[in-house]
Every structure is written in structure tokens, then in C-alpha cells.
């Protein structure tokens, strides 16, 4: 407003001066231009001053406004700074609390870390122990596998042995049947011999085990003699036909393997002398037996008998003993006539094996209550 008033006053003064110049125009011709110029300069100066003043005032007002705005801005900034400072203080307090909490948590973490380290050490120790145990288990598994393989091998061996035993049992059963058959035939043959001798009223002793008959050499021969006496011829003439006829009968001839004539002496004299004497006596009995062909024994039976006949001298081997253990010299001087059935030796051996096997089985069987 002051600027406007200044401008209005200036304008008024200008008009007054122009009026004065107009009135004095004619009177002041010389000074007119000078005064006009001066007036113009003055006016220009005034205008410049007014403009400068107005510009200064405007700048001052702008500066005041700017300072006011700046002050307001500073005030706002200060307020914001205060708020931010309060917020920072609050955040700092929170940070302190969080730092304390973190310190507490760090302490807890340190404790937990120590506990974890201890547990880790324990776990490492347990892991080492487990590794050792696993190694032992692997060794035991390998041992078990080896033992299992050995058991499988033993099982296979047992199965093989069982199969072999089954085969042997089947063979033994077959042999047992054959043994029983041979034993039955032998028992029947011995019974037939006894029956036939009894029927002829001959007092002949037959061995129940092998069916042999023993003839006293004192009846058959003189002392140290190898020729049959009349009494010996008569005895052989009664005994040999019956004995050989029963052996060569259809019931038993197919089972017959050998007919043996064995000579024995007492224990006096040398072995060689007695061997020769026992052999000669056995041959004398065999010659008498062969002389019966066609008379007491048929030629066909005799031919078959000759194929099975064997003659042996045993010197003073296998003597006869008395009850007191002394040698019975008279009974030891004898000639034995015996027979052997086919496979009898094998059957006797198998029978002994079977008896031993049965005894072993009986010994190994567990006792039951």
C-alpha cells in the first residue's frame, strides 16, 4: 500500500511540474529544455528509486515470507526432528531391551551350544561305539553266515548220509531176509539130519550151530595110523550115506556150497607130522565116501558132491578142552564132516554186522520214561 501511495504522489508532482512548465513555456524558453531534461531525469530518478524501492520492498517481503516459510519449515523440521528423536530414543530403548534380550539369548545359546557340544561329543562317542558294534555285528554276521554254510554243508552231508543209510537199510533188510532164509534152510537141514539119524537109531551128535558131526579117530584109525579100521569102515558106512543123502536132497542141494572133511590130531608130536597125519586121515574118509558111489549114494548125487567136496588137515590146531581148561587129547583126535551153504560166510559176517549195529543203536537211543 505504501508503494502505491508513493507512486500516486510522484505522479501528482509530475503533473504539477508539467503544468508549471507549460505556463512558463513561453517565458522560459531557454531553460525549458534544461528544466524538462532535469525534470525528466528527476522523474527517471524517482521512477528508478520507486522501482528500486518497490523491488527492495518486494524482495524484503519475499525474504520475510521466505524466512517465515523457512522458519515454519524449520519449526516443522524441528518438530519432526523432535518426534524422530523421541522415536529414536524409544527405538534405542527398544534396541537396548533387544540387546539385553539378545545378550540373554546369546548366553542361552552359549549354554545350548555347550550342551550341544557335549551332546555332540556324546553322540560321537556313541557313533564310535555303534561303529564298533556294527563292525562286531558284521563279524558275527560273517561268522553266522560261515556257520550257516557249514550247517548247510553238514545238512547236505547228513542228507547224503541219510540217503546212503536208507539204501543200506534197504540192502540190510534184503540181506536180513536172505539171512533169515539161509538160517531157516540151515536149521531145517540140521533138523532133517537129526531126524534121519534118529530114524536109523544112530547115536550121532550134530553140532546145532554149523550142522557138523565129529567122528572119534580112535574108532576110525589106530594110534598114529591113517588107514580105516573095520569098526571105522562100519561107522562111516552108516553115517556118510545118510549125511550126504540129506545134503544132496532136492530141498537143500541148491543151497549147498561145500561139503568139508577136516582132520585133527592131539597136541603130541610135531606140527608137521600131525598136519600130514590129519590130512591123510581126512583123505581116507573122503576115499571111503567116494567109494559109495552107485551103492549107497547115486552117481548123480556123487558127481554133484564131488564138485562141492573139500578135504583139509589141521594138525593139532583147534583142540578140544575139558571143563577145567586142559586139552582133551582123545577128543581132539577126530575127523569132522560139515557143510557150508551158499553165501553162508557172507551171511554170517552180515549177521555179525547187523548184531553190532543193533547193539550200537540200542546204546545210542535216548532213554524214555
Q: Summarize pLDDT for 248-307 with one digit per residue, the tens.
A: 999 999 999 999 999 999 999 999 999 999 999 999 999 999 999 888 888 989 999 999
Mention every residue, 6+ apart, whose C-beta is less than 8 A from residue 316.
Answer: 264, 265, 266, 267, 268, 269, 271, 274, 332
Residue 180: all three cell numbers together: 533169515
Distances (CA, A) of 109 to 41, 102, 113, 117, 120: 92, 10, 6, 12, 15
Are the C-beta atoms of 183 and 348 separated by less than 8 Å? Answer: no
Find out whether 319 and 328 touch, Cβ atoms under 8 Å.
Answer: yes
Give 268's contacts (C-beta < 8 A, 6+ positions apart).
Answer: 316, 329
Regarding predicted confidence, which is higher, 101 or 317?
317
Beta-bridged to residue 228, according to DSSP, are 221
Query: At residue 230, does pLDDT exceed 90?
Result: yes
CB contact burial 350-361 (16+ within 10 A = b; e otherwise): bbeeeeeeeeee
Mean pLDDT, rounded, of the chain: 83
Residue 113: what pLDDT?
82
Q: How far is CA 95 from the centre of its chain?
A: 69
Q: Rounded mean pLDDT of 135-150? A: 87
DSSP code at position 334 = E
Name the percent of the chain lying above pLDDT 70.
83
For range 55-80, the mean pLDDT:
79
Give the model's confidence band at 368: pLDDT under 50 very low, under 70 low, under 90 confident, else very high: very low
All three cell numbers of 243, joined, read 549125511
Question: What average pLDDT does this structure show over 124-148?
Answer: 86
pLDDT value of position 232: 94
Whether residue 214 is predicted with pLDDT greater than 70 in this model: the reply is yes
Bridge partners (DSSP) of residue 259 are: 309, 339
The average pLDDT across 118-140 equals 85
pLDDT above 90 as % of the chain: 34
For residue range 99-124, list pLDDT tens digits in order. Answer: 888 788 888 878 888 887 888 888 88
Q: Per-residue pLDDT for 229 more than 70?
A: yes
Find the length of the chain. Answer: 369
pTM of the complete model beyond 0.85: no
Of 261, 272, 266, nearest to 320 by C-alpha is 266
Q: H or E element: which one contains 257?
A: strand 256-264
- pLDDT score, position 369: 45
Higher-confidence residue of 298 and 49: namely 298
Could you tell me if 314 and 263 are in contact, meaning their C-beta atoms sit under 8 angstroms apart? yes
User: Left (φ > 0), alpha (ψ -120 to 50) or beta: where does 339 sit?
Assistant: beta
Give the pLDDT of residue 12: 73
Amino acid at each position: 500500500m505504501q508503494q502505491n501511495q508513493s507512486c500516486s504522489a510522484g505522479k501528482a508532482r509530475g503533473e504539477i511540474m508539467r503544468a508549471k512548465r507549460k505556463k512558463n513555456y513561453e517565458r522560459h524558453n531557454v531553460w525549458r529544455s534544461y528544466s524538462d531534461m532535469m525534470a525528466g531525469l528527476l522523474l527517471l530518478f524517482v521512477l528508478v528509486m520507486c522501482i528500486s524501492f518497490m523491488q527492495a520492498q518486494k524482495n524484503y517481503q519475499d525474504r520475510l515470507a521466505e524466512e517465515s516459510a523457512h522458519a515454519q519449515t524449520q519449526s516443522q523440521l524441528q518438530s519432526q526432528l523432535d518426534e524422530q528423536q523421541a522415536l529414536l530414543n524409544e527405538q534405542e530403548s527398544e534396541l537396548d531391551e533387544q540387546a539385553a534380550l539378545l545378550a540373554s539369548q546369546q548366553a542361552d545359546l552359549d549354554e545350548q551350544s555347550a550342551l550341544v557340544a557335549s551332546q555332540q561329543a556324546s553322540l560321537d562317542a556313541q557313533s564310535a561305539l555303534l561303529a564298533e558294534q556294527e563292525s562286531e555285528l558284521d563279524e558275527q554276521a560273517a561268522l553266522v553266515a560261515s556257520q550257516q554254510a557249514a550247517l548247510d554243508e553238514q545238512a547236505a552231508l547228513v542228507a547224503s548220509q541219510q540217503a546212503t543209510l536208507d539204501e543200506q537199510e534197504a540192502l540190510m533188510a534184503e540181506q536180513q531176509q536172505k539171512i533169515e532164509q539161509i538160517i531157516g534152510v540151515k536149521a531145517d537141514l540140521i533138523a532133517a539130519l537129526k531126524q534121519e539119524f534118529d530114524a536109523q537109531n544112530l547115536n550121532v551128535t550134530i553140532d546145532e550151530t554149523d550142522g557138523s558131526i565129529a567122528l572119534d579117530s580112535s574108532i576110525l584109525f589106530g594110534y598114529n595110523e591113517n588107514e580105516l579100521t573095520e569098526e571105522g569102515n562100519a561107522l562111516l558106512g552108516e553115517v556118510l550115506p545118510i549125511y550126504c543123502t540129506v545134503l544132496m536132497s532136492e530141498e537143500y542141494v541148491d543151497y549147498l556150497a561145500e561139503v568139508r572133511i577136516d582132520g585133527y590130531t592131539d597136541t603130541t608130536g610135531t606140527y608137521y607130522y600131525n598136519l600130514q597125519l590129519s590130512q591123510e586121515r581126512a583123505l581116507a574118509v573122503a576115499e571111503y565116501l567116494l567109494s559109495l558111489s552107485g551103492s549107497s549114494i547115486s552117481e548123480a548125487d556123487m558127481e554133484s558132491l564131488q564138485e562141492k567136496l573139500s578135504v583139509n588137515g589141521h594138525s593139532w590146531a583147534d583142540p578140544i578142552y575139558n571143563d577145567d581148561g586142559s586139552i582133551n587129547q582123545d577128543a581132539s583126535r577126530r575127523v569132522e564132516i560139515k557143510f557150508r551153504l551158499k553165501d553162508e560166510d557172507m551171511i554170517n559176517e552180515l549177521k555179525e554186522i547187523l548184531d553190532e549195529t543193533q547193539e550200537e543203536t540200542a546204546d545210542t537211543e535216548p532213554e524214555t520214561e
